[in-house]
Structure 1
């Protein structure tokens, strides 16, 4: 269950007409590479569209090679999603510092992104959205 306890200085906002947020299953196979290494290969990604911002692909933690990531002390806050934690990708060098973010306890309105991470496109080699592998024979 998501805790709604937040410091008074941190307002919680609910997505709505003035600031819509949608989360949908991404139909593509998503592959993220850094320094020639595949960090992610998943067919279970989500796409989050928020207001006027570019769409963000969130990938499930289970499909990420977490051994290639290093948690940092960097943290931010979003009144729509909650507290945000970051990871760097050491193999990517300086540009891959804080290249990955996650909302580990997101607010209820965006609970689907729990256990998912997102990558800054300019801090990795590529975030490829490829046709999903067919399950038909």
Structure 2
């Protein structure tokens, strides 16, 4: 089965830019990620999603799941749960491991659901 691959444009713009913010992600008292190297992905009218380099994530807290989704603009997304001694937050982290060319800079980065984890974004300028 062939999936459509769409190119961002005036009707559905997507930009990926370096951000001048610090992104800290927590699950309870545990810091899942802390970075000043996030990329800001702005897609159409959706809220900005910050993509954090994997090296700035405590990967010991991540557990890959079988869940996946498809975006015709970005490609296939893989998911991770966050596992701490206090519990598991299912499918709270996603990654486009081999994203489409239009959003290629988000490869080897992850983003976080802000309704499942505490994501703090603070300007560093």
Q: Where is the strand percentage greater, Structure 1 or Structure 2? A: 2
1:93 Cα deviation after fit = 3.1
Give the counterpart of 1:101 among 94, 100, 103. 94
Deviation string for 1:19-54 (max 9, x for gaps)?
Answer: 000111110111111120111111100110101111
Task: Give the total of aligned pairs.
Answer: 124
Identify unmatched segments of 5+ residues in structure 2.
none
**Given the two structures, how large is their TM-score scaled by the length of structure 2?**
0.94
Q: Which has the larger radius of gyration?
A: 1
Unaligned stretches of 5+ residues in structure 1: 1-6
Structure richer in helix, relative to its length:
1
TM-score normalised over the length of structure 1:
0.86
* 1:129 corresponds to 2:121: yes
Matched, 1:118 2:93: no
